[in-house]
């Protein structure tokens, strides 16, 4: 169930004509307590297995000045850790060193069937019109960047950006975004040769109970992005623009069961490195008072010489159980089953987690 929104009015200064007006602001929030541990393959080094607990806290403020536009602000705090030393991570895991941090700040305005969006803290999926997956993706897959079309829908940090989305009432949709990782730096700038820009396009169609879409990304320097989605410490220089193209589809099989699948083609932009691909799917099933979710994902990688390889597969299972309208508890398990002949070799791991969420 979506969190209830608290509404209040913030008086604004009168405009030039002398007539005053107010803006309506909605606040929603969420706190998450995450406890978990992992079990590593026997003989594995540098694989912490102790049980530990982290938290995250979010506040989303949405302000409208004319009833249609939206100024979005997201404030986060948390002490979560990343993949290598903190295997228990979900989409809610953040690490701000326990400081309140503004992580999203952008403005949207509808113009006919189009929505224009822009801001200094903008991310790629802030206003992507195309839906390639209906998978809930609130378990451990999201923390490890393994969900359907993770290579084409995800970003590591928010930066100055602008986007335009088109949604036709009959189901057709399309969007384009430009994000500049160096856009807050005068020596790099926005859409410059020296800058680090990400350009994304999407197109798709949503029917009554199914839909599909295509997303294409071009990144000037995806080092941090590649490290996040592949869990690999990259030292090889990127010699060309990286390109990611993904196609995904979803179908509501019944009122209680939906299925999603995504396939990404990956061109790293490194000389002599082969293209690779990633396949993932997920399903949600209403059972009892909650929702049971399961997912699969392949894990692409590359040898030091640039050959496309596959380090193995990942599987997740979790159950989102609502205690009441605002509190839920979610036990989760994630299996990484790695190939034995990869170099360097990776160890099999099993990650366990339980997350309690409080939404208002």
Residues 6+ apart with CB under 8 A from 200: 124, 128, 152, 175, 176, 177, 178, 179, 215, 216, 217, 218
According to the model, what pLDDT value does residue 193 have?
77
According to the model, what pLDDT value does residue 149 have?
94
Q: For residue 155, how far is the Cα from the chain centroid?
A: 7
Per residue in 313-333, pLDDT (tens digit) is: 999 999 999 999 999 999 999
CA separation for the pair 327, 133 (Å, rounded): 25
According to the model, what pLDDT value does residue 189 have?
83
Count CA within 13 A, CB hemisphere, residue 355.
Answer: 28
CB 222 within 8 A of CB 242: yes
CA separation for the pair 68, 22 (Å, rounded): 14
Note down pLDDT in tens along the chain; length 360 residues.
333 333 333 444 334 444 444 579 999 999 999 999 989 888 777 778 889 999 999 999 999 999 999 999 999 999 987 655 557 888 888 889 899 999 999 999 999 999 999 999 998 777 788 999 999 999 999 888 899 999 888 655 688 999 999 988 889 999 999 998 888 888 888 888 777 888 999 999 999 999 999 999 998 866 655 655 555 555 666 677 889 999 999 999 999 999 999 999 999 888 888 999 999 999 999 999 999 999 999 988 888 788 898 888 999 999 999 999 999 999 999 999 987 655 555 678 899 999 999 999
Q: What sign for the dihedral angle of Cα 251, 244, 349, 139?
A: negative
Superfamily of domain 109-359: Porin (2.40.160.10)
According to the model, what pLDDT value does residue 306 have?
85
CA separation for the pair 164, 190 (Å, rounded): 17
According to the model, what pLDDT value does residue 169 have?
86
Q: Backbone phi, then psi, for 202, in 5-degree steps?
A: -145, 155
Prior bond of 344 cis (ω within 30°): yes
Q: What sign for the dihedral angle of Cα 126, 132, 135, 138?
A: negative
According to the model, what pLDDT value does residue 260 have?
98
pTM of the model: 0.86
């Amino acid at each position: 169930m979506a969190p209830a929104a608290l509404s209040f009015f913030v008086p604004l200064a009168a405009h030039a004509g002398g007539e005053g007006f107010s803006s309506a602001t909605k606040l929603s929030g969420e706190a998450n307590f995450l406890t978990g541990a992992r079990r590593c393959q026997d003989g594995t080094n540098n694989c912490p297995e102790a049980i530990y607990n982290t938290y995250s806290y979010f506040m989303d403020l949405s302000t409208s000045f004319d009833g249609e536009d939206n100024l979005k602000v997201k404030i986060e705090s948390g002490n979560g850790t990343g993949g290598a030393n903190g295997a228990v991570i979900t989409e809610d895991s953040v690490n701000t060193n326990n400081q309140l941090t503004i992580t999203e700040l952008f403005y949207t305005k509808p113009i006919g069937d189009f929505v224009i969006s822009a801001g200094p803290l903008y991310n790629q999926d802030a206003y992507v019109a195309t839906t390639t997956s209906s998978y809930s993706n609130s378990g451990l897959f999201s923390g490890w960047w393994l969900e359907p079309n993770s290579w084409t829908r995800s970003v590591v940090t928010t930066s100055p950006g602008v986007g335009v989305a088109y949604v036709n009432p009959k189901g057709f949709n399309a969007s384009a975004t430009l994000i500049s990782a160096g856009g807050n730096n005068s020596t790099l700038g926005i859409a410059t040769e020296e800058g680090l820009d990400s350009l994304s396009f999407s197109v798709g169609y949503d029917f009554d109970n199914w839909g599909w879409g295509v997303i294409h990304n071009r990144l000037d320097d995806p080092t941090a992005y590649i490290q996040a989605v592949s869990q690999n410490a990259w030292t090889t220089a990127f010699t060309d623009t990286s390109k990611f193209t993904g196609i995904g589809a979803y179908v509501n099989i019944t009122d209680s069961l939906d299925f999603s699948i995504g396939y990404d083609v990956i061109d790293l932009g490194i000389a002599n490195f082969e293209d690779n691909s990633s396949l993932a799917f997920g399903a949600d099933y209403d059972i009892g008072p909650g929702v049971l979710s399961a997912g699969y994902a392949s894990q692409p990688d590359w040898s030091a010489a640039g050959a496309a390889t596959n380090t193995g597969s990942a599987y997740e299972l979790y159950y989102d159980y609502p205690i009441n309208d605002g509190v839920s508890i979610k036990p989760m398990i994630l299996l990484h089953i790695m190939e034995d002949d990869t170099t360097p070799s990776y160890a099999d791991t099993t990650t366990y987690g339980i997350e309690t969420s409080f939404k208002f």
